[in-house]
Amino acid sequence: MSATDETSALASSGQWSWRIVANHVAILAGLLGAWEIGARTGFLDPLFFPRPTDILAGFWRLYVTQGNIWDHLGLTVAEVLTGFVAGSVLGIGLALLVGMSDRLRRYLKPYVIISEATPRIAIGPVIIAAFGFGWTSKVAIVMLVCFFAPFVNTLNGMVNVDENEMDMMRSMRASKWQIFRKLMLPDALPEILGGLRLAMASALGGALVAEFIASNAGLGVLINQYTGVLNMASAFVCVLTLTVLGFFIFRGMEALDHWIVFWSDRRRTEQVSRRRARAWSERMEKRT
């Protein structure tokens, strides 16, 4: 379903050997070399293709000699993290509440569909008009962007509980809380995590768009300023920074998924059950 889920499938599809790595490096070097030469001879428009060496120099300038990117980067990351945590907690919490009641779920469904079709970032100007140009409006936009995917996925996960398992829990006289804690929640977790990944993937974009619309600090503003004066090399530096940031965010979410939904991976399952068995036997020993 989600694009981020499948990136890992794409990445793991090839086998790696030193020859393939060497080929990759050669291709990359060839591309960059052609780019550099093309830009130097005026064959490539420097507006579209700033020279790779210029971009490298830009990295050095922005990060070391001027060091002006750090504040903007920190601000954007803070916006993303705050908005993501607030939005996803709200989304998951609300979905868990709603998911407990059949009727509520039924009446909410049309509204969820409509809000799904609305491009969420599109509400940006309205929020900026309401909350002003500062920190609050950025966090509010990221929150909104991060709210829906966890909400919808959690709701879906709660709805798609296996009826037979539900009957079994009921016939063993499990309380409503026990059914929720032992059946519905673990069943829904993979999907909830999928929603979180989607949310995180769009959070960065949301923060940037909010900064583009109206702001005075943040990476989005920096990109806007640099392209405004047609300093493309520096703008590319910011974008490449975002690429690295996006990559780490993606890896981080993957690790979180791996850690929480341990039963999707056999090795992790064995590891966790071994640990649990040990804890259990220690407790039993203490008791005797």
Partner 1 sequence: MSAAVYTMLGRGVSAAKHLLVFVAFILTWEVAARLGLIDTVLLPRPAEIAAGIVELYVEKGSIYRHFAITFYEAFAGFVIGGGIGLALAAGSALSASFRRYVAPYAIVLNVTPGLALTPIVIAWFGFGYSSKIALGAIVCFFPVFVNALIALTRGDEDTIEMFRSLGASRWQTFMKLQVPQALPLVFAGFKIAITTALVGAVVAEFSQGTAGIGILMQRYAFALQMGNAIASLLSMSLLGLLLFYLIEILDDRIVFWRRDARMAAVSRRRRAKWDVRSNKTST
Site residues for partner 1 per CB under 8 A: 1, 3-4, 6-7, 9-11, 13-14, 20, 23-24, 27, 47-48, 107, 110, 114-115, 117-126, 128-130, 204-205, 208-209, 212-213, 219-220, 223-224, 227-228, 230, 232, 235-236, 238-239, 242-243, 246-247, 249-250
Nearer to partner 1, 120 or 138 (CB): 120
CB of 129 to partner 1, least distance (A): 4
> Is residue 179 classed exposed, middle or buried when 0-12, 13-18 and 19+ CB atoms within 10 A define those classes?
middle
Q: How far is 71 from 23, CA to CA, in rounded Å?
A: 38
The neighbour count for residue 245, using CB atoms within 10 Å, is: 16
**Of the two residues 155 and 221, which places its CB atom closer to partner 1 in the complex?**
221
As measured in angstroms, the least distance from the Cβ of 234 to partner 1 is 11
Whole-number minimum distance, CB 177 to partner 1, in Å? 28
Nearer to partner 1 by C-beta: 123 or 183? 123
Rounded (10°) angle between helices 69-99 and 232-260: 40
3-state secondary structure of 47: coil
- Are 148 and 91 in contact by the 8 Å Cβ rule? The answer is yes
Would you say 152 or 223 has its CB closer to partner 1? 223
- Rounded to a whole number of angstroms, the minimum distance from the CB of residue 33 to partner 1 is 16
Taking the C-alpha atoms of residue 181 and residue 175, their distance in angstroms, rounded to an integer, is 10
Asked if 236 and 120 count as a contact pair (C-beta separation under 8 A), the reply is: no
Q: How far is the CB of 119 from partner 1 (least distance, A)?
A: 4
Provide Rg for the chain, Cα atoms.
24
Nearest to 156 by CA among 203, 108, 226: 108
Q: Whose Cβ is closer to partner 1: residue 110's or residue 286's?
A: 110
